[in-house]
């Protein structure tokens, strides 16, 4: 016999009621969570998914402004745009915090070309690494030597390195389920490879792009020259080109021609953009949400880190829309110059310590706008264990949304606040696709999924609400 539609509806209602009771009973047993909190978090998600502003904000940031390299006109435009958007939210205070940033420019397109007896002359897909010096106007040419690590450069020594171009070809470990762990295991060759090679007399450096994906898209990223080391030009090549170059080197000598027009200009004035809602009971306890406003000049910095900026802005927008009056001060900070210097973060931290501020919590979103998985937690050893225990007691409220907490890094822009002895959180979305886009010309608006971005806003807002209500 076919059940009636009413029977279906009745059964469905009972199922929903059962699920809800299971969740709220678990929450009710939590000394820091109630069924009222569960309803409020549900409302946060509803508002973020229906009345959020993050998606139109990121569309403007990426399609109307584009790549926002510190010191560039686009970075200045991004400062003005986000300041104006925060100023429309009726916050208690919105301001620009001055900082001085390095001004590196890429210049004309790089030319990186290999020559050998097998394939003749082949141009590679390449990008100068951020902060790299350029070549002389005529370029440089030398034989290539391949290495897998910085230690291997030391082992080869000056007799095998001097006068050559060093090719770092250590891939990201594909067996790492956490792609950020894979990135961390390989990125030293990009950040320090030029200094190490220069120490032994190399005249240039090529680095395999930091991604698990095999494609023709090169990934840029920052490097640093150690004090006292002669700076040499450094470029990243696509993973497909890295595979090809490695294969050719197994068959004989390969020479590379490099012509790069990049270089560092005089520092420029810029700003962090900050907005806050003042706390009603504990205004001196600050809950920070933030991301970095700058990006590399290629692509338009959608996932890195336009997503984190608009999500942080939208946290305040959602709370204002819900007429929520926080106990603690909730502050959005859009940091300038994370990519190649952290000037904005250093200035923010300097001012914060000078003022004697206390950040009870800081949450950074700088891992892309993908589906939320939860948060990583960090903090001063004196307080971490106790406060992490309080935070994880909220899991019954967040697990229904697929969220969890784990120990791990928080974010480059907020790490310097650790000595204030509040908790530091890194918003943690699914990371599997992030390094397909990271630091590439493909990191554009069309790579961002609206719903995933909004779910991130809801996730961050929920944690802000719990910290604000219960403290740490």
**What's residue 34's pLDDT?**
85
What would the pLDDT profile of 243-271 be if each residue is shown by its tens digit?
Answer: 999 999 999 999 999 999 999 999 999 99
Residue 2 lies in a domain: no
CATH number at residue 183: 3.50.30.30
CA gap 78, 335 in Å, rounded: 11
**44 plus 126 within the same structural domain:** no
**What's residue 32's pLDDT?**
57
Residue 125 lies in a domain: yes
CA gap 207, 213 in Å, rounded: 15
Domain's final residue, options 261, 286, 318: 261
**What's residue 118's pLDDT?**
87
Residue 241 lies in a domain: yes
Helices of type H across 275-330: 307-321
DSSP states of 373-407 = EEEEEEE-TTTHHHHHHHHHTTHHHHGGGT-EEEE
**139 plus 78 within the same structural domain:** no
**99 plus 241 within the same structural domain:** no
**297 plus 335 within the same structural domain:** yes
174 HSE (CA, 13 A, CB side): 4
Residue 170 lies in a domain: yes
Residue 59 lies in a domain: yes
**What's residue 274's pLDDT?**
99
Cα 373 to the center of its chain, rounded Å: 15
| DSSP bridge partners of 127 | 236
**310 plus 338 within the same structural domain:** yes
**251 plus 309 within the same structural domain:** no
**What's residue 142's pLDDT?**
98
Tally of structural domains, the chain: 2
Residue 356 CA: distances (Å) to CA of 95, 176, 291, 362, 413: 19, 41, 22, 16, 18
Share of the chain above pLDDT 70, in %: 93
Residue 271 lies in a domain: yes
Domain's final residue, options 231, 261, 291: 261
What would the pLDDT profile of 133-161 be if each residue is shown by its tens digit?
Answer: 999 999 999 999 999 999 999 999 999 99
**339 plus 240 within the same structural domain:** no
CA gap 200, 51 in Å, rounded: 57
**What's residue 238's pLDDT?**
98
Give me the domain span that covers residue 155.
Answer: 111-261
Q: For each of the chain's 472 residues, which pLDDT tens digit applies?
A: 434 444 444 444 443 444 444 444 444 444 457 899 999 999 999 999 999 999 999 999 999 999 999 999 999 999 999 999 999 999 999 999 999 999 999 999 999 999 988 888 999 999 999 999 999 999 999 999 999 999 999 999 999 999 999 999 999 999 999 999 999 999 999 999 999 999 999 999 999 999 999 999 999 999 999 999 999 999 999 999 999 999 999 999 999 999 999 999 999 999 999 999 999 999 999 999 999 999 999 999 999 999 999 999 999 999 999 999 999 999 999 999 999 999 999 999 999 999 999 999 999 999 999 999 999 999 999 999 999 999 999 999 999 999 999 999 999 999 999 999 999 999 999 999 999 999 999 999 999 999 999 999 999 999 999 999 999 9
The radius of gyration computed from the CA coordinates of the chain, to the nearest angstrom, equals 25
Domain's final residue, options 261, 289, 314: 261
**What's residue 17's pLDDT?**
41
**43 plus 157 within the same structural domain:** no
Instruction: Provide the token pair at 160.
Output: 């095998």
Give the total residue count for the chain: 472
**201 plus 151 within the same structural domain:** yes
Asked whether the beta carbons of 117 and 128 are under 8 A apart, the reply is: no
**What's residue 117's pLDDT?**
86
15 HSE (CA, 13 A, CB side): 6
CATH number at residue 33: 3.40.630.10
**301 plus 155 within the same structural domain:** no
Residue 16 lies in a domain: no
Instruction: Provide the token pair at 40.
Output: 């409020």
Residue 13 lies in a domain: no
pTM: 0.92
**147 plus 214 within the same structural domain:** yes
Asked whether the beta carbons of 341 and 223 are under 8 A apart, the reply is: no
Instruction: Provide the token pair at 158.
Output: 């000056």
Terminal Cα distance for the chain, rounded? 57
**298 plus 418 within the same structural domain:** yes
Rounded to 5, what percent of the chain is helix, strand, coil? 40, 25, 35
């Amino acid at each position: 016999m076919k059940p009636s539609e009413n029977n279906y509806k009745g059964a469905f209602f009972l199922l929903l009621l059962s699920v809800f009771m299971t969740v709220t009973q678990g929450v009710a047993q939590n000394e820091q969570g109630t069924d009222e909190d569960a309803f409020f978090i549900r409302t946060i998600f509803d508002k973020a998914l229906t009345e959020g502003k993050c998606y139109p904000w990121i569309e403007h940031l990426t399609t109307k402004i584009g790549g926002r390299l510190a010191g560039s006109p686009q970075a200045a435009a991004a400062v003005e745009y986000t300041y104006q958007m925060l100023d429309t939210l009726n916050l208690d205070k919105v301001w620009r915090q001055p900082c001085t940033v390095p001004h590196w420019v890429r210049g004309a397109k790089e030319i990186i070309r290999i020559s050998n007896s097998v394939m003749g002359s082949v141009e590679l897909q390449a990008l100068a690494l951020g902060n790299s010096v350029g070549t002389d106007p005529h370029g440089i040419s030398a034989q290539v030597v391949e290495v897998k690590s910085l230690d291997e450069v030391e082992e080869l020594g000056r007799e095998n390195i001097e006068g050559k171009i060093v090719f770092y070809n250590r891939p990201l470990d594909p067996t790492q389920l956490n792609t950020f762990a894979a990135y961390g295991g390989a990125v030293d060759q990009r950040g320090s490879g030029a200094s190490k090679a220069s120490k032994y007399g190399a005249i240039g450096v090529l680095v395999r792009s930091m991604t698990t994906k095999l494609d023709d898209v090169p990934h840029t990223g920052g490097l640093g020259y150690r004090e006292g080391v002669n700076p040499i030009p450094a470029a990243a090549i696509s993973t497909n080109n890295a595979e090809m170059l490695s294969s050719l080197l197994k068959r004989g000598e390969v020479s590379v021609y490099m012509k790069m027009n990049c270089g560092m200009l005089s520092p420029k004035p810029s700003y962090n953009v900050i907005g806050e809602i003042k706390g009603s009971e504990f205004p001196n306890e600050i809950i920070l949400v933030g991301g970095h406003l700058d990006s590399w000049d290629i692509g338009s910095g959608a996932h890195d880190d336009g997503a984190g900026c608009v999500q942080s802005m939208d946290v305040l927008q959602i709370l204002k829309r819900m007429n929520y009056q926080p106990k603690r001060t909730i502050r959005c900070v859009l940091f300038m110059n994370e990519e190649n210097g952290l000037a904005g973060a250093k200035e923010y931290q300097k001012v914060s310590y000078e003022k004697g501020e206390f950040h009870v919590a800081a949450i950074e979103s700088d891992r892309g706008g993908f589906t939320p998985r939860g948060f990583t937690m960090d903090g001063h050893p004196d307080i971490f264990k106790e406060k992490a225990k309080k935070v994880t007691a909220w899991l019954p409220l967040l697990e229904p949304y697929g969220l969890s907490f784990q120990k791990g890094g928080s974010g480059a822009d907020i790490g310097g606040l650790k000595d204030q002895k509040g908790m530091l959180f890194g918003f943690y979305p699914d990371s599997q696709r992030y390094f397909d886009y990271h630091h590439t010309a493909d990191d554009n608006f069309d790579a961002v999924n609206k719903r995933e971005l909004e779910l991130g806003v809801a996730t961050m807002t929920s944690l802000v609400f719990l910290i604000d209500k219960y403290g740490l």
